[in-house]
């Protein structure tokens, strides 16, 4: 464990001395209402944890929330940090590895996304089956700490097939049918051009966003299983007459957040019964 991780864990244990979780989750833009389904909550501001910082994007409260969901101990990152804000990969490493050090073996990631498929519109949920990384760099570049994970990490089953099947089953039961799709990550903060969207579709992408992928790489490096949800807030530029803005993203996310606040606790309960 690096010195910074040791320092981060020391602060967290001051808030919650004996807390251990089974499942971690990251909530994307406007989706933080899912955390309202937690009980026995302990909230820790990111800025209180060494190595972390406050996010500066609307819809991301920047809180590490510890508690229970349907009786299952969980950790929630209520708001994420983005590369386009100037956040370093080292900071993202601390966030993900804190989740691992608190006992989590599974990480559920959500992200507000644009759809590249006209038939999958705003309000839909897509179970991420794979990703295409068009962000610069990689969060594992540099010296490798073998106590955390191997030098070379396989991403063949980065979005765990069994977890995805369990998620889709829960969605069907709760009235939220889900398709599967490939998530493509860009750097941001600009939205994509129509030409880029056409290129992304030719690459096989189904949804596009500005996050998710670095977190997945880091989670797989330290041995966590991952399941991901692309929450569709809009059709990508060129596929709709509606102008794509962050305000549109947040407005659509409110409804998606309400749906996820029903789906995710059901999924957590199902998963816990299998752990």
- Report, as residue numbers or ranges, the catalytic residues: 29, 60, 82, 84-85, 112, 210-211, 234, 246
Residue 89's Cβ-side half-sphere holds a number of Cα atoms within 13 Å equal to 15
- Spell out the alpha helix ranges (H) of 50-187: 89-101, 161-174
If we measure between CA atoms, which residue out of 130, 108, 102, 134 comes closest to residue 13? 102
Query: What does the DSSP 8-state code read for residue 85?
Result: G
Q: How many CB atoms lie within 10 A of CB 233?
A: 30
Asked if 256 and 30 touch (Cβ cutoff 8 Å), the reply is yes
Contacts of 32 (CB under 8 A, 6+ apart): 59, 60, 61, 78, 79, 257
Rounded Cα distance, 60 and 82, in Å:
10
3-state helix, strand and coil shares in percent for the chain, rounded to the nearest 5: 35, 25, 40
Q: What is the largest CA-CA distance in the chain?
A: 52
Place of tokens 């409804």: 255
């Amino acid at each position: 464990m690096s010195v910074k991780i040791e320092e981060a864990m020391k602060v967290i244990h001051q808030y919650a001395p004996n807390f251990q979780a089974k499942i971690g989750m990251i909530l994307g833009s406007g989706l933080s209402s899912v955390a309202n389904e937690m009980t026995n909550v302990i909230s820790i501001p990111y800025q209180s944890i060494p190595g972390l910082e406050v996010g500066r994007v609307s819809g991301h409260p920047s809180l590490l929330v510890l508690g229970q969901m349907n009786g299952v101990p969980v950790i929630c990152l209520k708001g994420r940090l983005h590369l386009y804000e100037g956040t370093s990969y080292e900071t993202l490493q601390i966030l993900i590895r804190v989740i691992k050090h608190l006992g989590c073996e599974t990480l559920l990631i959500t992200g507000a996304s644009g759809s590249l498929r006209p038939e999958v519109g705003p309000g839909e949920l897509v179970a991420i089956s794979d990703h295409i990384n068009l962000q610069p760099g990689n969060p594992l570049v540099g010296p490798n700490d073998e106590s955390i994970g191997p030098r070379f990490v396989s991403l063949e089953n980065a979005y765990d097939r069994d977890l995805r099947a369990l998620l889709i089953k829960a969605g069907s039961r709760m009235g939220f049918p889900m398709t599967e799709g490939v998530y493509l990550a860009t750097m941001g903060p600009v939205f994509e051009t129509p030409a880029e969207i056409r290129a992304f579709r030719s690459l096989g992408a189904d949804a596009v966003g500005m996050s998710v992928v670095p977190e997945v790489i880091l989670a797989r490096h330290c041995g966590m299983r991952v399941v991901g949800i692309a929450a569709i807030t809009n059709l990508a530029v060129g596929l709709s007459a509606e102008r794509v803005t962050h305000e549109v993203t947040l407005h659509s996310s409110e409804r998606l957040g309400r749906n996820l606040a029903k789906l995710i606790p059901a999924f957590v309960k199902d998963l816990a019964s299998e752990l």
